[in-house]
Amino acid sequence: MTQINKELKTKSGNSNSGLFGKDFLLTWGKSMENLETILSVAEDLKMLRDRNISPRCFDSGLAISQFRDNSTRTRFSFASAANLLGLTVQDLDEGKSQIAHGETVRETSAMISFLSDIIGIRDDMYLGAGNTYMREVGAALDEAYADGVLPQRPGIINLQCDIDHPTQSMADLLHLKTVFGSLENLKGKKIAMTWAYSPSYGKPLSVPQGIIGLMTRFGMQVDLAYPEGYDLIPEVVELAGKQAAECGGQFRTVNSMEEAFAGADIVYPKSWAPFHVMERRTGLLRKNDYDGLKSLEKECLSNNARYKNWECTEDKMKLTRDGKALYLHCLPADISGVSCLEGEVAATVFERYRIPLYKQAGFKPYIIAAMMLTNRFEDPARVLRNVEHRGRERVI
């Protein structure tokens, strides 16, 4: 067994009081201490696996995944995280369940939860509905547990909703902590969260909202850039400004990609649909108005095409600090000349940062596993120490 003598970072104490038995739905619903605990547990889980120590702390149990939208990275990250800790993944396919026959959220939530520990939900299709749905599931679980139907109340992890994408933004934060050496070193760093052109429409707002909702808590200078009309949910933007003021950072919105890139240490060019478009889209989806959806798509693609110059190019990267800003993306990126004719990022820029991008994505399974572990165990530090002491080899 490979031995790497590094001290576990997770400490015992009250740092888990907001995580144990609590759903993880929004990063701004957790304290700074909670967020730092998640990062520490994720780092320890990665270190244990790197040392060939199995971090399995469950002998049985289910992790239920409910993806109401398509997913690759998050779906596999959730499965990897559950497996890492010893849970078996069961996917809730609504098309193959009684949900398709009218079964209520209240009933489904109870029926899938008898021997379940975690429920991961991705629901980002409908503005004003995804996070609400997760809370509805949570309320049903509370009721079933209080009535003695369930022996325990499974925890819920937001795998992306209409408001936030906490597993993504937390993985991004851990990537930044690793690259820059510490959370303390992020203070004063400038991150440009900018809209970028895409030949598609309807992309969720949750990634940019997750970034401005999290990074403004760490003393960073956060620039949110987008063409006029591509606003995010106003309440989230207001929250970002308030958090920046409270945490010694800065937050501003600009309508120039170049202005946001100027002097930036980190850039995050990512397409999203305007807030008002997502509102209209939600109404059309609810009414199953497919002709209306086609008309809206045509209108939005035409409007997107007005801003093809919102691309992360070599020239724009030269505007960043020393021309060497760290490029981030949640993937998949729309790569000009590769995955599309014209897109979010120039092929040469993407290729130069491809390996760091893959490493960025590689933190997500550990973040999700940390959310699972802290939800189920009151003292995660003790669990991790026991796992380390046991020293069971993952690969024999």
Residue 154 within a domain: yes
> Is 386 found in the same domain as 278?
no
C-alpha to C-alpha distance for 368 and 109, rounded to whole angstroms: 21
Share of the chain above pLDDT 90, in %: 91
pLDDT of residue 170: 98
pLDDT of residue 13: 76
Residues 6+ apart with CB under 8 A from 167: 74, 77, 157, 158, 159, 160, 364, 367, 368, 371
Mean pLDDT of 228-243: 98
Q: What is the pLDDT of residues 10-52, one digit of tens each?
A: 988 767 889 999 999 999 999 999 999 999 999 999 999 999 9
Q: What is the pLDDT of residues 152-202, one digit of tens each?
A: 999 999 999 999 999 999 999 999 999 999 999 999 999 999 999 999 988
Residue 44 within a domain: yes
Q: What is the pLDDT of residues 77-88, one digit of tens each?
A: 999 999 999 999
pLDDT at 1 over 60: no
Mean pLDDT of 108-116: 96
Domain that holds residue 60: 27-164+364-390
pLDDT of residue 12: 84
Residues 6+ apart with CB under 8 A from 323: 317
In this prediction, residue 267 has a pLDDT band, given cuts at 50, 70 and 90, of very high
> Is 310 found in the same domain as 194?
yes
Q: Tell me how many domains the chain contains.
A: 2
Q: What is the pLDDT of residues 117-159, one digit of tens each?
A: 999 999 998 899 999 999 999 999 999 999 999 999 999 999 9
In this prediction, residue 4 has a pLDDT band, given cuts at 50, 70 and 90, of very low
pLDDT of residue 202: 83
Q: Specify whether the CB–CB gap between 201 and 111 falls below 8 A.
A: no
> Is 160 found in the same domain as 35?
yes
Share of the chain above pLDDT 70, in %: 97
Q: What is the pLDDT of residues 242-260, one digit of tens each?
A: 999 999 999 999 999 999 9
> Is 322 found in the same domain as 232?
yes
> Is 136 found in the same domain as 46?
yes
> Is 202 found in the same domain as 110?
no
C-alpha to C-alpha distance for 333 and 348, rounded to whole angstroms: 13
> Is 324 found in the same domain as 184?
yes
The CATH number covering residue 136 comes to: 3.40.50.1370
Residue 19 within a domain: no
Mean pLDDT of 73-99: 90
Mean pLDDT of 225-229: 97
> Is 311 found in the same domain as 278?
yes
pLDDT of residue 96: 65
> Is 66 found in the same domain as 91?
yes
Residue 146 within a domain: yes
Mean pLDDT taken over the chain: 95
Mean pLDDT of 252-270: 98
Q: Give the distance from CA 34 to its chain's centroid.
A: 16
Residue 18 within a domain: no
C-alpha to C-alpha distance for 336 and 44, rounded to whole angstroms: 38
